[in-house]
Chain A
Amino acid sequence: MTVHTKLRMENPHLRNWLLSRENVGWVSLSDAVQATWRTLGFKCGLEIHQQLKTDKKLFCRCAAGIYHDFDDYDAEVVRHMRPTLSELGEYDGTALMEFKTRKKIVYRIKNDSACTYEVDDTPPFPLNREALDQAMRIALLLKMKIVGELHITRKQYLDGSIPTGFQRTTILGIEGAFPISTKTIRVIQFSVEEDSCREVCDIRHTRVYYADRLGMPLIETVTYPDMLTPWEAAEAAQNIRFIARSSGLVRVGIGAAREDVNVSIDGGTRIEIKGVAHIAWIPKLTHNEAFRQKSLLLIRDELAARKIDPASWKIRYTLLDPADWRHIPLLKKASAEGWKLVAVNLPGFSGILSFFNQPGRSFADEISDRLKVIPCLEKPNMLHSEQIDFSLLEPSKERDSVSANDTTLSNDVIPAPGSSTDSLLAGGVDQTGIQVFSGSRNKSGMTAPEFADSVWDKVRKELKATSEDSQIVFWAPDEDIKTALETISERCLLAFKGVPNETRKSLPDGITLFERVLPGADRMYPDTDSAPIPIAEAQIEAARVELPLGLDQRLEQLAQWGIPSDAYTYLLRNNLMPTVEDLSSKYQIAPKRLALYFAHLLKNLQGKDPLPFDPQRVEDLLIYIRKKKLALDILPEMLKVLFANPNMQFSSVLAVLNYKEITVREILAEIPLLQQMWARVKTNGLKRPDALNTWMMGRLRYLALGNMPLAELRQAVEKELSTNYTNSTN
């Protein structure tokens, strides 16, 4: 009996999930080929956010870049958000959704990083000119057309991430372009805006934010959906980062750059994956999203084939007697708090809830996600009649368990190891409890006996359901039941249409969760607190003068210098090209050699121990080496010591290396002595022709390090040995 047959017998819902996954055509990212995405009609666009390196915030005079622990605050302020009218007179869809969630928003503030502007108790001060100048240079690097006049616009965000309820943002340029290896990517627009708050927690109807990051100047680069594979998307994100960093005007480090990734497929819709903290996550997230859309399209077709009319489709629900369910551990808490238990019948939805959605998730998770966001029901928040026990899958093969080697983009693109869970990241930190009852993470919530068919039979009986239907049971306090029912009904009705417009939250394992309805252009309106700011020709020209080289020129340069391609990312990401160029000309050292000190040696060291290191220290070392007339070969060795002990004096570094000043003549004088020793060592059967050579270099290397170039030493050794050899054979 094969594994599959066994599964089929044990869990029909898992069988349905596997079958639907097959129909969707899902393959793992590592097994996918160009044709995979072409067939789907995969398209991807990016919105890249980067913090500018200004001293102050964008619309007030508070210091930028001061972060605090979430519990270290001076005061809290409470706000609620309600939708308002946009310029064109329509309420935004997102706005209405957020209104339904009835969130109480709490802001934590600290006096050193926030004033009354942050909590919207005072109008904005004039826009920070330093930020504008910095942004202008980056916009020009991206070949943007600069506007004639900045108009500060309010972009509504009702999630509370900004206390006003809108983000002040302004377009600086439109229609730019930048290269990736396969093509040119077009940029729709480039804007300067204020950063949002960091989320502390989001539980039930209360969401807490910290307002230290709020108001920091941010640039946003929005591309056209020109990326046709997940890998192109990652490369484009990477290159935008390189360009911004080449200006030296953007902040680096955790949370300083965040990506929103838009994905669509043929017949699907634009889905915005928000707050992707690492470029390395992009390929898998976009890949999975494409197939999620495909699966929703197949569900739409399936519902159409079943000839269900959405116009007359209606959920039916009933309250269950909590006493009957008290034995289920999952529901204990809910029942203790007096929540109601609601059973919902989804007519004609048999097989839909267990339909493949993403690795480890089925369509039911789409409903569960929305129950978390809209009526604010924490997960696990529901059970359904097609519960899948994913633990039955073979972990390695089937579950697409997230392994590092699945990400073939080099590790290099990950800014700092261990940073993935840091709360400075853009996205929400609420990553707990996901998939609790899909079984893949936590099997306790949802084990088979409790959801034996007999239990569901009872639910079906109460709902007068047929075998063509499927059922959901959720639990909620009275005041949230109405919204929860609307949420379930709304999501199911959207299934008839295909892929709903959404923004989704990204998780490190390549999975996305519903975040909110995708906002449209309707949420923009002019900021009545700010006057337009004209951009004169002279201002643009002044910025142009100070521009660094463009990315295409830098790539050419790298090739010219003969730099191995594995070193590109490190050099560009850390904006080291100008440093290499500068040091190379000042100290007459080949750029390749210098570049590899950084891109191989330093990178290696940082890979083992992620410490910050100021590239200026390399120049300090060069000056010292020149002054002491040391051979350059000692630099990497000194660098290693210096990396671990950044404040150590250079003379001490030499001492650690056991460096002794000694003349070339004295070094070479060691050769004949070593040769005599070799006669005794040789008995070990070292037959290779260069054995003596290697052995001797090993013995002499530390003596010579810094005192003479090692290449010279090698030549001298070779010469000496060959002379001796000739002598001895004669």
Chain B
Amino acid sequence: MLDLFKGYKGRALEVLKHFQARVWGDTTVQTTRGDFQGIILPRSENDDDRHIVIKLVTGYNVGIDVDTVLGMRETGYKEAHYKIPEKEFPFTPGLPKVKLLGTGGTIASRLDYRTGAVIPAFSPGELYGAVPELAEICNLETEKLFAVFSENMGPEQYKKLAVSIGKEIHKGIEGIVIGHGTDTMHHTAAALSFMLQDLPVPVVMVGSQRSSDRPSSDAALNLMHAAFTAGHSDIAEVMVCMFGPTSDEYGLLHRGTRVRKMHSSYRSTFRTIGDVPIARVTRDSVLPIKTDYNKRRRDNKVKVLPFFEERVALVYYYPNMHPDIIDSLAENGYKGIVIAGTGLGHVNKPVYPAIQRAVAKGVQIFMTVQTLWGFVHMFVYDTGRDLMSMGIVPGENLLPEVAYIKLGWALGQTADPDQVRELMLTPIAGDITAGEPYNGYLIFQGGIPEMEEFIRTYHK
């Protein structure tokens, strides 16, 4: 059925029907506050039912209170269609072949009236229309694997993504870019890091922090950086490629197992934790920072391990945590728990009995630190020693989210506690490092003279 009243409900819908007015109709609305003339727009489904939205001839939208409406008269009809200028993505001999896999992130986008949301644009043609510079970097192919928001990415998607990438590599692709929402990008990055081992080509995850419908979005530049990395760099690892500073200057390539989103809205939200990023990237260069990365190869071989046990939980410990939190997980059949403990890796005594009960049931428990930086050290205090004796395994410097993903991946392959422990504690993709470099922890504090000087001098 043709929906003439897109998004309208309740009183607003009644009023529209009563006056035989419809969405996209150029309409004169008589109200107690005076006449308004414009095109009736669809209404966002989350907004109230007391207003009708019209677009004035000047391009502005205004809402009209339905209680003030005296009459409506349609004088014309103009339905809008969204279209991103689409041009065929040109093939340039000599440029690397790069595949962009879409998951639902917003790299280029258009607007949706119904929800007020931003809808991604994706085909190569659409992307070329939005970011024509891509054609100078690579020969791009795209495939939309799913259209889910970042928060809805989960084990099913991780596995499908890993398998799809494996196929592309077998077919001889020279680099993979994955468009992804930023909220859980580091979870997916960790998952792919474990599921795709011994990669011959770069796998680059990219998104945008500031929506791509705005002229100052970081999306286009991120995409160029990612495409360049995928096509031209010799770093054959799973990486997150996002802004280095908040300024439009360069991107950073973070190892998929050491990266974390650290700010709710900043462009430079992704940081490598406890280490330094692998490289910096500009529109036409990759400048390595580390040297011990996995190098690009000419073969099309990759080990794909698409496994994941879903009954795994990440528990963020807080003072006064009650034992029933752990009990309920054990009782509900969870097979693994990662605890983000305080300090060096601690929880309080009242939880101990619950931990013992869970371990006795065969639940695998690993300890990480909610300080994010630093290693778990459970020998330092009695608390730690007590916990270890109960069967909690210290997770070295696995980031809590990475430990969660890794435990799900390990339990997906085996239920044997020793094997799980071995998988967990063996570094696979830089997820556990031998130590922490001195410059692996740099959270600068504003206000200090030398920092203020730094901020003034460099585009942060």
Within 8 A of B (CB), among A126-179: 145-151, 153-156, 158, 163-166, 169-171, 174-175
Mind listing 14 A-B residue pairs with CB under 8 Å?
A74-B456, A78-B249, A116-B266, A120-B210, A148-B63, A149-B62, A151-B60, A151-B61, A154-B214, A163-B216, A165-B215, A528-B111, A534-B48, A534-B65
Within 8 A of B (CB), among A438-494: none
Within 8 A of B (CB), among A277-308: none
Cβ of B380 < 8 Å from any Cβ of A? Answer: no
Cβ of A435 < 8 Å from any Cβ of B? Answer: no
Cα distance A155–B58 in the bound complex, in angstroms:
11
Cβ of A77 < 8 Å from any Cβ of B? Answer: yes
Given contacts A74-B456, A147-B62, A148-B31, contact A122 B216 (CB under 8 A): no
List chain A residues, Cβ under 8 A from B65.
148-149, 534-535, 537
Binds A, one of B79-87, B392-400, B415-423: B79-87
Is B60 in contact with A524, judged by CB distance below 8 angstroms?
yes
Cβ of A185 < 8 Å from any Cβ of B? Answer: no
0 or 1 for each of A508-545: is its CB under 8 Å from B? (1 = yes): 00000000000011111110100110110100000000
Given contacts A87-B80, A89-B81, A148-B63, contact A528 B460 (CB under 8 A): no
0 or 1 for each of B52-87: is its CB under 8 Å from A? (1 = yes): 010111111111111010000000000011111100
Query: Taking each of B51, B130, B264, which has the highest tally of chain A beta carbons within 10 Å of its own beta carbon?
Result: B51
Is A171 in contact with B56, judged by CB distance below 8 angstroms?
yes
Cβ of B117 < 8 Å from any Cβ of A? Answer: yes
Cα distance A169–B109 in the bound complex, in angstroms:
22
Cβ of B248 < 8 Å from any Cβ of A? Answer: yes
Within 8 A of B (CB), among A52-102: 73-85, 87-89, 91, 95
Is A520 in contact with B59, judged by CB distance below 8 angstroms?
yes
Cα distance A437–B455 in the bound complex, in angstroms:
42
List chain B residues, Cβ under 8 A from A80.
216, 221, 248
Cβ of A252 < 8 Å from any Cβ of B? Answer: no
Within 8 A of A (CB), among B17-69: 31, 33-36, 47-48, 50-51, 53, 55-66, 68
- Among residues of B, the one whose C-beta sits closest to the C-beta of A157 is B215
Is B58 in contact with A75, judged by CB distance below 8 angstroms?
no
Cβ of B300 < 8 Å from any Cβ of A? Answer: no
Is A151 in contact with B215, judged by CB distance below 8 angstroms?
no
Is B215 in contact with A77, judged by CB distance below 8 angstroms?
no
A123 to chain B, nearest CB (A): 6
Cα distance A577–B220 in the bound complex, in angstroms:
55
- Among residues of B, the one whose C-beta sits closest to the C-beta of A525 is B111
Cβ of B103 < 8 Å from any Cβ of A? Answer: no
Is B62 in contact with A85, judged by CB distance below 8 angstroms?
no
Is A89 in contact with B247, judged by CB distance below 8 angstroms?
no
- Among residues of A, the one whose C-beta sits closest to the C-beta of B43 is A532
- Among residues of B, the one whose C-beta sits closest to the C-beta of A172 is B62
Cα distance A156–B267 in the bound complex, in angstroms:
20
Cα distance A153–B33 in the bound complex, in angstroms:
22
- Among residues of B, the one whose C-beta sits closest to the C-beta of A122 is B265
Cβ of B212 < 8 Å from any Cβ of A? Answer: yes
- Among residues of B, the one whose C-beta sits closest to the C-beta of A123 is B265
List chain B residues, Cβ under 8 A from A89.
80-83, 110
List chain B residues, Cβ under 8 A from A155.
59
A269 to chain B, nearest CB (A): 17
Within 8 A of B (CB), among A342-386: none
Dominant SS at the B interface?
A: loop
List chain B residues, Cβ under 8 A from A526.
61, 111, 113, 116
Given contacts A85-B110, A89-B80, A89-B81, contact A165 B214 (CB under 8 A): yes
Q: In the complex, which of the residues B36, B211, B213, B460 contacts A75, with contact meaning CB atoms closer than 8 Å?
A: B460
List chain A residues, Cβ under 8 A from B298.
none
Cβ of B246 < 8 Å from any Cβ of A? Answer: yes
List chain A residues, Cβ under 8 A from B110.
85, 89
Cα distance A525–B65 in the bound complex, in angstroms:
21
List chain A residues, Cβ under 8 A from B55.
87
List chain B residues, Cβ under 8 A from A121.
210, 246, 263, 265-267
A695 to chain B, nearest CB (A): 67
- Among residues of B, the one whose C-beta sits closest to the C-beta of A533 is B63
0 or 1 for each of B203-217: is its CB under 8 Å from A? (1 = yes): 000000011111111
Is A164 in contact with B33, judged by CB distance below 8 angstroms?
no
Given contacts A116-B265, A165-B214, A526-B61, contact A73 B111 (CB under 8 A): no
Is A174 in contact with B56, judged by CB distance below 8 angstroms?
yes
Cβ of B118 < 8 Å from any Cβ of A? Answer: yes
How many chain A residues touch B (Cβ–Cβ < 8 Å)? 63
Is B111 in contact with A83, judged by CB distance below 8 angstroms?
no
A230 to chain B, nearest CB (A): 25
Is A174 in contact with B36, judged by CB distance below 8 angstroms?
yes
Is B216 in contact with A79, judged by CB distance below 8 angstroms?
yes
Cα distance A356–B67 in the bound complex, in angstroms:
57
Cβ of A196 < 8 Å from any Cβ of B? Answer: no
Is A147 in contact with B214, judged by CB distance below 8 angstroms?
no
Cβ of A189 < 8 Å from any Cβ of B? Answer: yes
Cβ of B331 < 8 Å from any Cβ of A? Answer: no
Cβ of A191 < 8 Å from any Cβ of B? Answer: yes
Cα distance A596–B192 in the bound complex, in angstroms:
81
Cβ of A46 < 8 Å from any Cβ of B? Answer: no
Is B265 in contact with A81, judged by CB distance below 8 angstroms?
no
B46 to chain A, nearest CB (A): 8
- Among residues of B, the one whose C-beta sits closest to the C-beta of A76 is B459
List chain A residues, Cβ under 8 A from B64.
147-149
- Among residues of B, the one whose C-beta sits closest to the C-beta of A107 is B247
A557 to chain B, nearest CB (A): 28
Q: In the complex, which of the residues A78, A122, A175 contacts B247, with contact meaning CB atoms closer than 8 Å?
A: A78
Cα distance A344–B117 in the bound complex, in angstroms:
48
Is B33 in contact with A84, judged by CB distance below 8 angstroms?
no
A73 to chain B, nearest CB (A): 7
Q: In the complex, which of the residues A85, A145, A146 contacts B84, with contact meaning CB atoms closer than 8 Å?
A: A85
List chain A residues, Cβ under 8 A from B460.
75, 77
Cα distance A79–B459 in the bound complex, in angstroms:
11
Cα distance A56–B118 in the bound complex, in angstroms:
30
Query: Taking each of B61, B84, B215, B217, which has the highest tally of chain A beta carbons within 10 Å of its own beta carbon?
Result: B215
0 or 1 for each of A210-244: is its CB under 8 Å from B? (1 = yes): 00000000000010000000000000000000000
Is B62 in contact with A88, judged by CB distance below 8 angstroms?
no
Besides the known contacts A78-B249, A164-B214, A164-B216, 10 further A-B residue pairs in the complex with CB atoms under 8 A apart: A85-B82, A120-B210, A123-B265, A148-B63, A166-B214, A166-B215, A189-B60, A523-B59, A526-B113, A528-B111
Given contacts A145-B34, A526-B111, contact A158 B215 (CB under 8 A): yes
List chain B residues, Cβ under 8 A from A320.
none
- Among residues of B, the one whose C-beta sits closest to the C-beta of A83 is B215
List chain A residues, Cβ under 8 A from B299.
none
A517 to chain B, nearest CB (A): 15
Within 8 A of A (CB), among B207-236: 210-217, 220-221
Cβ of B14 < 8 Å from any Cβ of A? Answer: no
Is A119 in contact with B246, judged by CB distance below 8 angstroms?
yes
Cβ of A188 < 8 Å from any Cβ of B? Answer: yes
Is B214 in contact with A84, judged by CB distance below 8 angstroms?
yes
Within 8 A of A (CB), among B420-450: none
List chain A residues, Cβ under 8 A from B48.
534
Is B216 in contact with A81, judged by CB distance below 8 angstroms?
yes
Cα distance A81–B210 in the bound complex, in angstroms:
13
Cα distance A75–B447 in the bound complex, in angstroms:
12
Is B213 in contact with A85, judged by CB distance below 8 angstroms?
yes
Given contacts A82-B215, A116-B265, A158-B215, contact A522 B61 (CB under 8 A): no
